[in-house]
Amino acid sequence: MHIQTHTDVISACRFCFMCRHLDTTGNVTFREADTPRGRALVLDRIRMNPEQLANPDFINVMYQSTLSAACRKHCVSHYDEAGLVLQARRDIVEQNLVPEAVSQLAQSIQEQFDPKLTGEGQDVLILSTQKDTFEHQLVHLTDKTVQVLQVNDTGKIPSVLGLTDQAKEMAKQIAAMIKKSGCSTVVTNSPAAFDALKNDYPSWEIDWDGITIEHSSTYLTKLVDAKKVTLQCNDEVVYYIDSDYLRNYNDITVEPRQLLEQAGYQLNPFGTNPEESYALGEAAMVLDQLHPKLVQMMVERFKSMMDQPLDRIVTASPYTLRILRGAGIDVMSLEEALLACSAKA
């Protein structure tokens, strides 16, 4: 079983309560099962009694996890509780126990997978996973001509659902197109896509051959530092919401804030603490489709953490942006916030 690769995590987490206050699912369901301890206990029983993997209650717990990794980041030893859940999902898939809703989602991702590359010859390739205006925003900010690779997903969705083979196949195609493009830098505003290319692909033995993978926040920071982009003009108070994939998977916390501050925004801390994930299930990619009620509960918790109902939110996560916007909360993407007050050098 794949969970056997994480027995150190099972052993460490099964009797440990020290991060339960940060479990994004547990903080709205209040279930013991929805904590790293609860999940490790379940998986420990499965480790000892593999037939129990078929228990639908156990399967449900694994797919309710947000994979936010806030607990892993908090842990003094950084035990990979999120990685353990991913391995459990792989086991569920390989034992043909995957819930119908998960299968359908994965199938739909596969059917819509049709990566398209536009432009040629430029150094910078924008990887866009949303039907949004990111590439235009970035071009406007940097005055650069770019290539654009438009995809519905980088393989991250099947990967977090436990369908690793499907994810690897998608990754292979995307990586081939990127390499063929001749670019030297890939920039994406999607933290999930960034994490996929930066961390997942190399773990699937995709070698980038010197191509740099950048999230838009670190890329823009470099341009600002090199005085190729000037940000100014605003004195609005905003609350920056960390992306799980940026903060908890890639330690990118400073650059987005720095950019906003350089753009003149006054940043107020959101909520009561800097450790909790407020990304509303971003790292689970499709939690709003699999467990809409759960995400709604997270939105309610988010609202309860706001200083005022009209607080202006900025997030680097397109997923979090979409959920918050759907809930009627005043929210901007990082690029929108920067574009609102930028001038080319």
Give the total of residues touching another protein (CB under 8 A): 36
Least distance CB 74 / another protein (angstroms): 8
Alpha carbon distance 275, 339 (integer Å): 28
Closer residue to another protein, CB minimum distance, 108 or 296: 296
Least distance CB 297 / another protein (angstroms): 10
Which of 18, 191, 164 has its CA nearest to residue 94? 164
Which of 282, 286, 289 has its CA nearest to residue 315? 282
Alpha carbon distance 270, 129 (integer Å): 27
* Part of the chain binding another protein (CB under 8 A), chosen from 7-15, 84-92, 177-185, 216-224: 7-15
Q: Which residue in the set 7, 55, 185, 230 belongs to the binding site for another protein (CB under 8 A)?
A: 55
Alpha carbon distance 65, 35 (integer Å): 8
Closer residue to another protein, CB minimum distance, 19 or 105: 19
Judge contact between 314 and 238, C-beta under 8 A: yes
Contact status: 146 vs another protein (CB under 8 A) = no
Q: Residues 66 to 105: which contact another protein by CB under 8 A?
A: 75-77, 79
Closer residue to another protein, CB minimum distance, 15 or 143: 15
Closer residue to another protein, CB minimum distance, 222 or 293: 293
Judge contact between 71 and 283, C-beta under 8 A: no
Q: Residues 270 to 299: which contact another protein by CB under 8 A?
A: 272-273
Judge contact between 143 and 165, C-beta under 8 A: no
Closer residue to another protein, CB minimum distance, 40 or 170: 40
Q: What are the start-end ranges of the E strands in the chain?
A: 116-118, 124-128, 147-150, 185-188, 212-215, 229-231, 237-241, 266-267, 313-315, 331-333, 342-344
Q: Which residue in the set 3, 24, 25, 37 belongs to the binding site for another protein (CB under 8 A)?
A: 37
Binding site for another protein (CB under 8 A): 11-22, 30-33, 35, 37-38, 41-42, 44-45, 48-49, 55, 57-58, 60-61, 75-77, 79, 272-273
